Structure 1
Amino acid sequence: MKRAAILALLAAAAPVAADSGLPPAALAYTQLRDPAQEAEAKALMETIRCVVCQGQSVADSDADMAGDMRALIRQRIAAGEKPRAIREWLIARYGDYITYDPPLSGATLPLWLAPILLLALGAWVARGSFRRRKRRSE
């Protein structure tokens, strides 16, 4: 019992160990001077998934990795690189997982089909339930 409690405590503390304790990257929390460039950077950051967080964009995450990615995006935009090129580079480096709208491919087909299949399954179960209730009431 004690062993299970210790393991549960260690598992709960694992996210804390994910942060390095190092100071954040230079542009992680600092906006670009040019408002147009900052708007481009912010728009891109909102479409890029944090690789260490569950379902958060790099714009919303406080993880060190997300801060590094924000800084990288701002540095590249400040250097004149287009958001589309930065996005393609990030996808090439981290894979389709990093984007909230993965392209349709053999690997991502289950992601696209799962909601449709779950809706169809739910409709089928509901239909069966309604039919059984209708038969009982007759």
Structure 2
Amino acid sequence: MFAESVISFSQLIAKTVIIVSLSIFYLRLFLRLASFLVSRPWRRYRTFTVRRCRRWRKKTSEPYCSICLQDAAEGEKMRRLTACGHCFHAECIDPWLEKRSTCPQCRAQIPPVPPEYPLVALFVPPGVIELFTKEP
């Protein structure tokens, strides 16, 4: 009788440990995936530096900024919008993106900037964080 109760108690503890460890594992996996999805900096644009290394590549058109109407020179920072693929100088597109959320060339919608606290944004409604972080 005593041996059976010890065995059933140890089986209960083993099942509990397995369930708790799996729960912790899946919670960590969910939080890691959620933080990755919420805080992806490349959702809006990709920044790259223009280089002139074309030994093995096909000839393609030069990156061209339609805001300042100039070709990109070697060493300049350009941004390619992920929504439409258009390229602009970083110093030309940054003021535009501060005021608008569309591409200046084709008016494609650009995703908003990820929040400062990505995991909190999953559980707190929008606007609540701004109420407490806003300076008077």
The question of a shared fold, defined as TM-score above 0.5 by the shorter chain, is answered with no
Q: Which protein has the bigger helix share?
A: 1
Q: Which protein has the bigger strand share?
A: 2
Structure whose CA Rg is larger: 2
Quick one: higher RCO (CA 8 Å, sep 6+), 1 or 2? 2
Scaled by the length of structure 1, the TM-score of the pair is 0.29
Scaled by the length of structure 2, the TM-score of the pair is 0.29
